[in-house]
Chain A
Amino acid sequence: MLKPLNPLLHSELRLAIVSILVGVEEADFVYIRKETGATAGNLSVQIDKLQKAGYIDVDKGFRGKMPRTTCRLTEVGRKAFSDYVETLREYIEPR
């Protein structure tokens, strides 16, 4: 019996956000928006969901006079991503 895929990560946009953050220390909201092609509103909602689940940390600050939001993956998020990829492998290559 295959394990169910984590529903929080099994969504196109949220998976893209976590995949970006898994290889870096932190990424800017503007960068994530550009890479995913999502709208600012939708991206905010999905980032909020990931933050509430403890998968990412969000820092809101300023760079000069411009507001800046940076996101970074937490240890919980990294573990969830790793488990997700492991389960995904079982789906694609069933034993």
Chain B
Amino acid sequence: MREQQIDEHRSLEIISKMIADTSAHIDNESGKYFLLWGYTTVIVSLFEYVAQLLHLPMHLCLWAWWLIPIVGGIGTLILNRRAGVARPKSYVDRSISAVWMVFGLSFGMAFIAALVYGANILFLTAMLMGMGTVITGKICQHRVLTVAGIAGMVLSLLIPAGHLLLREYATALRESGITHVEAIYYIELVIFAVVFLVMMVIPGHILYNRARHA
């Protein structure tokens, strides 16, 4: 493109092309963040489930949860850094960052509630992240995220009731010498992983593939 005079039709062509290309770049990255956080959460949850079944030391099981914010946080910083030059910053980016900052803080509050009052942290986390996903979907106008977020919120309701729905499995776990409380926790872990698979991993892949083929 050079510095030259143009006719009216060429002007319109340039305006339409530049605006369309820039919008496409803004949308390109969102799938990667969902894949990063989704896969990290699913893998750590399933690791917790297996670790509990194998009776690995409790401190190992507890510390493994910290992998989610560590891997997710570092991964997000790397993705932001890589995207910095490759794409322009929009009002949408700023809105989404603000939404997830608030949900990050809400998760902190949920964590405190779990420690102090024994609130169900898995249920609260899944519900909060589902809400964040729905809002992100609405801001970006990605129907797939909105639907996945709502599905995640609905599925998160199964977490506290999982042992009632999977009664036979809970009984089998108890018969293998596991306490009632442990059996409930194991089932909650599996449902928690499924919620994040539906809510983040699947829509993440859909968005990522769409961006690659755009």
Contacts and interface: CB of A to CB of B under 8 A. Distances in A.
B22 A35 contact: yes
Contacts of B88: 20, 24-28, 31
A42 B6 contact: no
B9 A22 contact: no
Interface residues of B, number: 32
Interface of B is mostly: helix
Contacts of A11: 3-6
A16 interface: yes
Interface stretch (B79-87, B121-129, B141-149, B189-197): B79-87
Q: Which of B6, B17, B22 has the most CB of A within 10 A?
A: B22
A53 interface: no
A44 B121 CA distance: 53
A14 interface: yes
B52 to A, nearest CB: 42
Contacts of B89: 24-27
B33 to A, nearest CB: 19
Interface in A1-35: 5, 10-16, 19-20, 22-28, 30-31, 35
Contacts of B2: 12-13, 38, 42
Interface string B175-194: 00000000000000000000
A92 B18 contact: no
B209 interface: no
A12 B6 contact: yes
A16 B85 contact: no
B1 interface: yes
Given A24-B22, A42-B3, A91 B91 contact: no
Contact of A10 (B6, B17, B81, B86): B6
A68 B88 CA distance: 13
Contact of B3 (A14, A23, A68): A14
B21 interface: yes
A74 interface: no
A26 B89 CA distance: 5
A42 B2 CA distance: 8
B86 A85 contact: no
A31 to B, nearest CB: 6
Nearest to A7: B5
A63 B73 CA distance: 19
Question: Closest 4 CB pairs between A and B?
Answer: A27-B88, A19-B18, A24-B88, A36-B1
19 contacts: A12-B1, A14-B3, A15-B14, A16-B18, A19-B14, A20-B22, A24-B22, A24-B26, A25-B91, A25-B93, A30-B85, A31-B87, A35-B21, A38-B1, A42-B3, A45-B3, A63-B84, A88-B8, A91-B8
